[in-house]
Amino acid sequence: MIKIYTDKRIKHKVQHLIKEHNSNDIYNICQSLNIPILKNDLGTVRGCLQYHENTDTYLIHINSNYEWEKFGIAHELGHYYLHKDLNSFKLQNCSIELEKKLEDQANIFAAELLLPDNILNTSTYHLNKWKIQQIAFINDLPEFIVEQKAVQLRMFNPAPQNFQNVGKIIV
């Protein structure tokens, strides 16, 4: 059975993870879960979560040429926490819509992990004065992550033309 998570359920899952690890540091989380991060040139693939059945271990592969390494690792952690029981190679042959939904869920997980509400709510950013691009740059994140969170929290309204052009990154 495939679980389809709501945005709210993903947010709660991430909040629990941050509380459990007392941090949103993806490198420390991977280390505590014994998930090695391997960086290599993966061609057009940005990253993937790999399971080795014989050793019961997971690996995160990240393309060494991928600009948003932190986001890619957080995205793959999303797959680990939300979809680790699914065989993604078999799913790719089933439904494009299902695959898109799983990727969207991993993106939401990554956004919640890398930019939790408390960082935006208690930060020194005066979000009404700062632009999405500035916040993304300071946090080394793709702009669409900051925009998604700002809209979700109703912190400020991005320019409509920018919001329509935001693309989702699928790792």
User: What is the distance between the alpha carbons of residues 163 and 171, in angstroms, rounded to a whole number?
Assistant: 21
Residue 59: in which H helix or E strand, if any? strand 57-63
Longest dimension (CA), the chain: 53
Which residue in the block uniquely carries the two structure tokens 């033309």? 161
User: What is the distance between the alpha carbons of residues 10 and 8, in angstroms, rounded to a whole number?
Assistant: 5
User: What is the distance between the alpha carbons of residues 106 and 170, in angstroms, rounded to a whole number?
Assistant: 9
| Statement: residue 61 has pLDDT above 90 | yes
When comparing pLDDT for 161 and 17, which is higher?
A: 17
pLDDT digits (tens, 9 = 90+) for 62-109: 999 888 899 999 999 999 999 887 765 555 556 677 778 888 899 999
Q: What percent of the chain has pLDDT over 90?
A: 42
Q: Which residues are catalytic?
A: 76
What are the residues whose beta carbons fall under 8 Å from the beta carbon of 30, sequence distance 6 or more?
36, 37, 60, 73, 77
pLDDT of residue 80: 95
Other C-beta atoms closer than 10 Å to the C-beta of 99 total: 15
| Statement: residue 121 has pLDDT above 80 | no
Task: Kindly report which listed range (30-39, 76-85, 113-122) carries the lowest average pLDDT score.
Answer: 113-122
Question: Listing from the earlier edge strand, what are the strands of the sheet with 57-63?
Answer: 37-40, 57-63, 47-52
| Statement: residue 158 has pLDDT above 80 | no
Put simply, whether the predicted model's pTM sits higher than 0.75 gets the answer yes
> Under CATH, which number does the domain 7-164 receive?
1.10.10.2910
